[in-house]
Amino acid sequence: MNLDNIAWLYTGRFLTGFGSGTYTLVAPVYIFEICEMSIRGALESSVALMIVIGHLSVVTMNLFMTGEAITIVCLVMPVIVAGKKAKMRLWHAPQNQ
């Protein structure tokens, strides 16, 4: 590795750490502010559960895939899930009469 690659490595690690810290802080605060008291605990714990499941899935993929393939899967999966949710919302949207 030359100095240029190490600088990019540290930059990527910093940005990844900053992003992870941000969503770890912001998501529970947002949920706390907008949801009803009766479901707040379940939603708060689901954030932590999804983070752990995401980390576990990437570590498991690392056993069977290359780094480039894991990157592609991690970029494509949110797009697929968001597309299915958007399609579901449009399919079940209430009709204006």
Model-level pTM? 0.59
Instruction: Compute CA distances 97 → 58, 64, 94, whole Å.
Output: 47, 53, 9
Q: Which of 20-24, 28-32, 87-91 has the lowest mean pLDDT?
A: 87-91
At 33-70, the pLDDT tens digits run 888 888 888 888 888 888 888 889 999 999 999 988 99
Rounded to 5°, angle at Cα 80 from 41 and 58: 65
